Amino acid sequence: MKITTIHIIRVTPYKLAKVFAFTALLVALGFSAVAQKKLDIKHADKLKGGKTPEGEKFGKLIGNVVLVQNKTTIYCDSAYFFKAKNYVEAFGKVRITEGDSVTITGGKLEYDGNSKVAQLRNNVVFTKLGTATLYTDNLDFDRTRNMAYYRNNGRLVDSVNVLTSRKGYYNVSTNMASFKRDVKVTNPDNTMTSDSLQYNSRSKIIYFRTPTTVVNKKDSSTVVYEQGFYETRSKKSILDLGTAETPDYKLDAEKFNLDDINKRYLFRRNVVMTNKKEKLIIRGQSLDYYRAEGISKVYDNAYIAKVTDNNDTLYISADTLVSIESPDPTKKRLLAYHNVKIFRKDLQGLADSLAYQISDSTLYFFKDPVLWSEGNQMTADSISMLIQNNTIDKIFMVSKAFVISQDTLINFNQIKGRKMTTHFRNKSIDRVVVEGNGESLYFALDEKTNVAMGMNKIICSYITIRFKEGRLNNLSFYVKPESNFIPPHELTPDGIKLDGFSWKANLKPKRSDVVKPQLAPLKPQKELQNPPATIPPGKK
């Protein structure tokens, strides 16, 4: 019986670790060898050998050349194949296929089988099945990263959009393309220009990365988007920090939600809409625009700023402001309803609702309107204000018109009538004309002693009241006036007020009641919630 000697070798932990490390290295090398499979010649009509001046061997392949590496197949008319370097230079009708989805054609190719980077030149066309086609003269395709990029002008075309730029990067795995420098997007609805944006060729969504100008092809309206995205199929957008502009209007907001299909556009946070021709600025925190109807609705701390003469500004606030556009100038108007307040240095007012007729530059106040101007209070069932040359020209008061003012002794001078017209000159009340059922109470003061001499009470169909520096100066009465002078000692509390007297000075709004504060601006988000395209290191 043969006895076999068994040798027992003591292995220390250190030696054992080295064995494992060596084994792992062999395994890794084995996998690497599979992953870095060499380029193989599948077909060529002719094969010739050659050497470079440095003595490097290569094979010259001529006619119907086909080379293969894993799922990548290279077709060309001729090629220099450096087998030792796993490298090929291909010429003439170059075509690369990457599986069934990617096809690239060009005039020249340099391909490194180790790094798996293909450099194509001259009339390059990169096509991903069912998504988009990229055209350029210089394209690099990194198979490992599945990334194609160009640095000297390119154009991506799909069923919806055409995108051009000086630089571009296309991630084949995610279908996300990044475009940089002189970016332009065209589609049936819009033209977009930007310094940088991203586009998903499968979902057809454009992502705005830097300020992007969008021009509508139908009406030439312009929008500048800071960031956000636009779905070109559904024509919906959610955007931040944008500006929109038409020949008549300019609009700024921090958040845009746009629906081009239904023509419904929502703007939120610090909304500013400017009517250029009318010098009107509308502010609020929310604006809904219904394009088909030409209606804009502003609410949440909404107010209007109307620039008038000498850059003085008339402010109007309300719960809701509505702007109505129309090709017919007579139908263009601005509405304000519920809790209307107005303020200017020399004019304040209240009403339930208001309408501004743009064609005749007239403001109409409804439901218990009251105006104050230089100490004069004006009320009526209906009040309208004519603005000419950007300043108040006339105020018309209809039905139960009533004007009240205080003198230096705090007496109330009063005028009432069926209809009144207040005329302005140099931004101050010049005169008031009363037509129908006129009544007046006027306190006479001694100019030297400033002591009340008595009160004039006059009834007359037609009255003209003249003012000087905003104060009542004199009155003229026409058509059978009835006058009664009452001395101070005969005045009674009931006798010093006309029927319908109501002094509302405590309701007079201040500027802070009308001009609403804006919200602190949002900080621009550095990145949006969508997958960015992967850009090769050093290629930005």
434 within a domain of the structure (yes/no): yes
CA distance 481 to 37: 115
What are the CA-CA distances from residue 175 to residues 147, 170, 331, 505, 532 (Å)?
10, 7, 49, 67, 10
Query: Is 532 a residue whose pLDDT tops 80?
Result: no
The two three-digit tokens of residue 162, written as one number: 């055409």
Domain end, chosen from 119, 141, 163, is at: 141
User: What CATH number does the domain containing 48 carry?
Assistant: 2.60.450.10
- DSSP-based helix, strand, coil % in the chain, nearest 5: 5, 60, 30
12 within a domain of the structure (yes/no): no
Domain end, chosen from 124, 141, 158, is at: 141
90's enclosing H/E stretch is: strand 87-98
Query: Is 336 a residue whose pLDDT tops 90?
Result: yes
pLDDT, residue 524, reads 54
Handedness of CA 257, 261, 264, 270 (dihedral sign): positive
46 within a domain of the structure (yes/no): yes
62 within a domain of the structure (yes/no): yes
186 within a domain of the structure (yes/no): no
CA distance 128 to 517: 52
Cβ atoms 533, 198 nearer than 8 A: yes
378 within a domain of the structure (yes/no): yes
CA distance 331 to 324: 8
Q: State the residue range of the domain holding 374.
A: 369-501
187 within a domain of the structure (yes/no): no
259 within a domain of the structure (yes/no): no
CA distance 404 to 376: 6
Mean pLDDT of the chain: 85
Low-confidence winner among 239-243, 299-303, 461-465 (lowest mean pLDDT): 239-243
Please count the structural domains in the chain: 2
User: What CATH number does the domain containing 411 carry?
Assistant: 2.60.450
Domain end, chosen from 80, 112, 141, is at: 141
Digit-coded pLDDT (tens) for 91-132:
999 999 988 889 999 999 999 999 999 999 999 999 998 888
Digit-coded pLDDT (tens) for 4-30:
333 333 434 444 344 343 334 333 333
